[in-house]
Amino acid sequence: MKKLLSILGIIGLTTTSTTSLISCEKPNNNENEENNKPKPAPEPQQPPKNSNWELIDYPTSTIKLRDLFKNPDNKWYVINLFTTQEGYIIRKFKFTNKTKLVKKSDYDETAWKYKFKDYEGLPTELVGYYRYVYRWNGVNEPQTPEINNGGEITDWKK
């Protein structure tokens, strides 16, 4: 008899708990309604249409820099990056067989071991907090684009 009452009690509690759980309505505790949504990542700055500049990589893209810089392609690249000493700067380089790459000895002898290790095998121009990588698909060396204090390219120097 005790077992039967125990089983009936458990069934009753389970049914009650499940019913109230299913029927419970979650109140909206979002005071600002739509305003509490996270802001989307800013869109990368696109080069002008019909120009020889092409956006290659930016921090949230799926392109991997290691894949991009596996084989020298003799093309010019511009990197928009942030350095703690200078703020936003532009670095321009041609990726050839002679391009200096970050090697193990570069980060073994510095206090920046953790940083340089991430760049091993990549062009030294990429070291820093880069925002965008652009490739010049033209024939001759491009002029270096100009940027403002916020790191936005203001003059692409076609």
Residues 102-118 have a mean pLDDT of 57
Q: Tell me: pLDDT of 38 over 70.
A: no
Q: Which of 15-24, 67-76, 114-123, 140-149 comes out lowest in average pLDDT?
A: 15-24
Measure the CA–CA gap between 75 and 94, rounded to whole angstroms: 5
Question: 126 near 115, Cβ under 8 Å?
Answer: no
Angstrom distances, CA of residue 45 to CA of 53, 96, 134, 141: 11, 26, 10, 21
| Structural domain spans, the chain | 63-155
Q: What is the share, in percent, of the chain residues with pLDDT greater than 90?
A: 11
Q: What is the share, in percent, of the chain residues with pLDDT greater than 70?
A: 55
Q: Tell me: pLDDT of 118 over 70.
A: no
Closest CA to 144 of 156, 132, 134, 135: 156
Q: What is the pTM of this model?
A: 0.64
Highest mean pLDDT among 5-14, 48-57, 108-117: 48-57
- pLDDT at site 136: 94
Contacts 24+ apart (CB under 8 A), 108-117: none
Q: Tell me: pLDDT of 22 over 60.
A: no
Return the H-helix or E-strand segment holding 117.
helix 113-118
Measure the CA–CA gap between 57 and 64, rounded to whole angstroms: 8
Residues 131-149 have a mean pLDDT of 90
90: which strand partners?
80
How many other CB atoms are found less than 10 A from the CB of residue 101? Answer: 14
